[in-house]
Amino acid sequence: MEQSGLDFWERHSLQFLEMAFETFKRETLEKPDGYGKKTRECGDTIEIFLMLDEAKIRSASFETDGCLYSVACSNAVVHLAEGKTLPEAGRITPEDVIRYLETLPENESHCADLAVAALRLALDDARAKTSPVLHS
C-alpha cells in the first residue's frame, strides 16, 4: 500500500492522471458502429464503443468496472484511436498505451493489454458492419 496519498500523485505523470480521472469519454453508446467487450480472468471488464465517419473513427468511448489503471488504459486507447482509420487503430499496441500514459506501473500493464484487446474486438465488429472499402 502507498506510504501516503501524496506518493500516488507524485509518482504519476500529468498524462496518466488526466486519463485516470477524466470522465468525458466514459459512456455507453446505444448503437455504436463498433463494439468490443473483453473480460480478464479476475473479472475486470472493458467495453469500447466506436462511431465512424466514413473511413475514420469519429469518436470512441469506454466503460469499465475495473480499477483506476483500467480506466486510465481505456481512456488512453480511445484517445489514441480517435481520428484514425480502422487499420491505423488496429496497430495500437499495449506498449503504445503504456508510452502514452508515461507512468503506468509495470505490474498494471495487463490493463493496457485488456484495453487494446477490447479495442481490437470493437474494430472487428466495425469491419463486419461496414463496407470493405473502409478496411484498407
Contacts for 10 with CB less than 8 Å, ≥ 6 apart? none
- Model confidence over 51-68: pLDDT tens digits? 999 889 999 999 999 999
Neighbours of 40 (CB within 10 A): 15
What percent of the chain lies above the pLDDT cut of 70?
Answer: 92
Is residue 29 within 8 A of residue 117, CB to CB? The reply is: no
pTM: 0.91
Domains (range + CATH), the chain: 5-135 (3.90.1010.10)
Tell whether the model's pLDDT for residue 26 goes beyond 90.
yes
What percent of the chain lies above the pLDDT cut of 90?
Answer: 84
Reported confidence tier of residue 133, pLDDT bands at 50, 70, 90 = low
